[in-house]
């Protein structure tokens, strides 16, 4: 079985199951929207978008990360920084496709998961299952739920409970920590 075939199978069954498990009874009315996400992700994989497995950890030295990332990407992904609100061109990205980690290329979100939150950062109401690990961040005194790439441990942003249905989550992501792959793109 190829990596792509394995990932396709995991996402086809696992994406729906994982997302369904997060829905409250009131959100179950939005099931058709969630089913649409699963179908569209299958279409992206069928279109030839290649993806690395999240189990392939990427560990590099500080020097290797500095060569791989520009200064802004390094600050956000490796030093848990934050880009200025409204600075990312990905805020306006509306094409079908996949948002990947700028550090390692792991798929994190599909375009169907993106919405306009008005915060100035790319925001998503769901993430691809298994794409992130989380931890509690006390940098602003009150606890926040920080998330980082499961493959390279790069910091991406924080997840909040003020998002839209069907999940009620807002994955607030730094744009410099993402790369966008349009649906018909092979890179």
User: Measuring CA to CA, how many Å separate 126 from each of 13, 66, 180?
Assistant: 16, 30, 16
Cα–Cα distance for residue pair 69/83, rounded to 1 Å: 15
Residue ranges of alpha helices (H) inside the chain are 3-21, 31-46, 62-68, 71-79
Phi and psi (nearest 5°) for 144?
A: -130, 155
101 as an active site residue: the answer is no
Candidate list 104, 149, 152, 172, residue with the active-site label:
172
128: alpha, beta or left? (left if phi > 0; alpha if psi -120 to 50): beta
Q: How far apart are CA 72 and CA 83, in angstroms?
A: 8
Is 157:172 a contact under the CB 8 Å cutoff? yes
Active-site residues, by number, are 172
């Amino acid at each position: 079985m190829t990596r792509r075939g394995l990932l396709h199978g995991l996402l086809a069954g696992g994406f729906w199951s994982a997302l369904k498990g997060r829905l409250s009874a009131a959100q179950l009315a939005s099931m058709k929207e969630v089913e649409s996400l699963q179908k569209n992700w299958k279409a992206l994989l069928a279109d030839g978008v290649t993806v690395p497995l999240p189990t392939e950890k990427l560990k590099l030295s500080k020097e290797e990360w500095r060569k791989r990332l520009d200064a802004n990407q390094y600050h956000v992904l490796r030093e848990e920084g934050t880009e200025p609100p409204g600075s990312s061109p990905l805020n306006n990205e509306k094409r079908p496709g996949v948002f990947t980690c700028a550090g390692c290329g792991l798929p994190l979100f599909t375009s169907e998961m993106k919405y306009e939150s008005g915060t100035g950062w790319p925001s998503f109401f769901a993430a691809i299952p298994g794409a992130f690990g989380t931890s509690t961040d006390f940098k602003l005194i009150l606890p926040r739920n920080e998330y980082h790439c499961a493959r390279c441990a790069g910091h991406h942003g924080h997840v909040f409970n003020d998002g839209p249905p069907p999940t009620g989550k807002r994955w607030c992501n730094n744009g410099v920590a993402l790369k966008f792959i349009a649906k018909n793109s092979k890179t």
